[in-house]
Amino acid sequence: MDGELAPAERHCVRRHLDDCWGCSEAADVVRLVKCSLAHLADRRPPALAAVRLQRWARSVPDRLR
């Protein structure tokens, strides 16, 4: 998701996401959240939805364990 994998690992993950509906859906959600969070600085003042999105994004690593 962040471009941190080596090419071989990236290829394996891509193949898995191509075959696994659940993981590909989760990956799409993470991509959309990352995109939304990347553009939060452009918004003043932060909307309530943005604050909730940030809170949810901070909780994602705990949910993936």
Residue type (1 letter), 28: D
Render pLDDT for 11-64 as a digit per residue (tens, 0 to 9).
999 999 999 999 999 999 888 888 888 877 776 776 788 888 888 888 877 666
Give the pLDDT of residue 43. Answer: 67
Q: What is the pLDDT of residue 15?
A: 95
pLDDT at 65 over 60: no
Structure tokens at 13: 């993950």
Question: Residue 12 has what pLDDT?
Answer: 94
pTM: 0.57
Task: Provide the residue ranges of all domains of the chain, joining segments of one domain with +.
Answer: 7-63
- Predicted local distance difference test score (pLDDT) of residue 59: 86
Based on C-alpha coordinates, what's the Rg of the chain? 14
